[in-house]
Structure 1
Amino acid sequence: MKQAKWLVASLLILGVLSYLWGRAPSKLSFDSPTSGPLTQVEPPRGCEVKGEGCLVPIEGLGEFRVTMPETVVPLERFAFEVDPQGEAARSVGEVRVDFEMVDMDMGINAYRLERLADGSYRQDIILPVCTTTRTDWIANLTIRSTEGGFLVRLPFNVDRSRP
């Protein structure tokens, strides 16, 4: 009799959890990526994200200042920031960035940026060291908004030695 009560209680709990998972999976997961088509946006000519950053216009959405420090060293933490300009901040839902090196497997280097009180998005990043001494990276910036999803590929170089 005691085992039957445990079995019924376990099934009841599983049923409730299944119901909740089906109704609101985003409430039960911590970091589920969003899917859907992305419109690729070309960065402006001469866009340099290191230092003062680069202003990236996205048609129908607005402008975004993308910045990282002047010096980015592998295995050292640095801040990656995206600051929507003006009205663009109202329609942004999620900002993510993943880093890749063309024709190299550098593992998964994907981050979800956190929204700050001032409306900007920021995350601390640590990039791995390339054993072949390459320094060329691409930051694949994904912005999801009420106007759709947008992808901006921003090339940059890491610094192998300190200034």
Structure 2
Amino acid sequence: MKKHVYLLIAIVVVAFVFAKVVAVLAFEDIKEGQALDAPMVPCQLQQGCRLGANTQVKSRAELKLNQPFYIELTTAEAVPEVSVSFSMVDMEIGYNRYKLISDDGKHWQAEIRLPICTLNRADYIATWRVGEQKYQTALNVNR
């Protein structure tokens, strides 16, 4: 009976290590996809801005730490998927990606809450994925 317990413990440990390796590899792949190759676009979300020739994005209210805000993104042509993720320069804030929702592929929206920074920084960078296109914008976030 004791051998079965040790075998079960060994299986659980191996499964945990395997899951951890898979999670780390997946996170590294996702982090790489969070796009330093995307162009940085000047943007004031509260006033609205163009990410590209055919894409506009706007926040309904000012961005504040620890409070949700509502994003609206519009494209001239329908796209299959739109998402946004957040990062900071020289700061690992973990995986986060918000998928915006749409009924027609042209008008997208989402309620978003920024990841919390334990150092109380507010210099977020948004990486927008609009179909196959990627853009980055610096966010003005109030405390």
TM-score (norm 1): 0.58
What is the aligned partner in structure 1 of residue 124 from structure 2? 137
Please give the residue correspondences for 1:113-128 in structure 2 after superposition, counting only pairs within 5 Å: 113-116=100-103, 119-128=106-115
* 1:116–1:122 contact (8 Å) kept in structure 2: no
What is the aligned partner in structure 2 of residue 94 from structure 1? 81
TM-score (norm 2): 0.65
CA deviations 1:18-64 (Å, max 9, x no partner) are xxxxxxxxxxxxxxx9xx9x8x55355xx323212101224xxxx11
Q: Displacement of 1:95 after TM fit?
A: 0.6
Distance in 1 (CA, whole Å) between partners of 2:129 and 2:51 is: 12
Please give the residue correspondences for 1:74-93 in structure 2 after superposition, counting only pairs within 5 Å: 74-84=65-75, 88-90=76-78, 92-93=79-80
Task: For residue 133 of structure 1, give the secondary structure of its aligned residue in structure 2.
Answer: coil
What is the aligned partner in structure 1 of residue 45 from structure 2? 50
Question: Do structure 1's residue 156 and structure 2's residue 139 form an aligned pair?
Answer: yes
Of structures 1 and 2, the larger Rg is shown by 1
Runs of 4+ residues over 3 Å off in structure 1: 116-119
Distance in 2 (CA, whole Å) between partners of 1:54 and 1:94 is: 19
Q: Displacement of 1:136 after TM fit?
A: 0.6
Task: For residue 91 of structure 2, give the secondary structure of its aligned residue in structure 1.
Answer: coil
Q: Displacement of 1:78 after TM fit?
A: 0.6
What is the aligned partner in structure 1 of residue 13 from structure 2? none
What is the aligned partner in structure 2 of residue 16 from structure 1? none
Question: Any stretches of 5+ residues in structure 1 without a counterpart?
Answer: 1-32
2:55 pairs, out of 60, 64, 70, with 64
Percent identical pairs in the alignment equals 29
Task: For residue 93 of structure 1, give the secondary structure of its aligned residue in structure 2.
Answer: coil
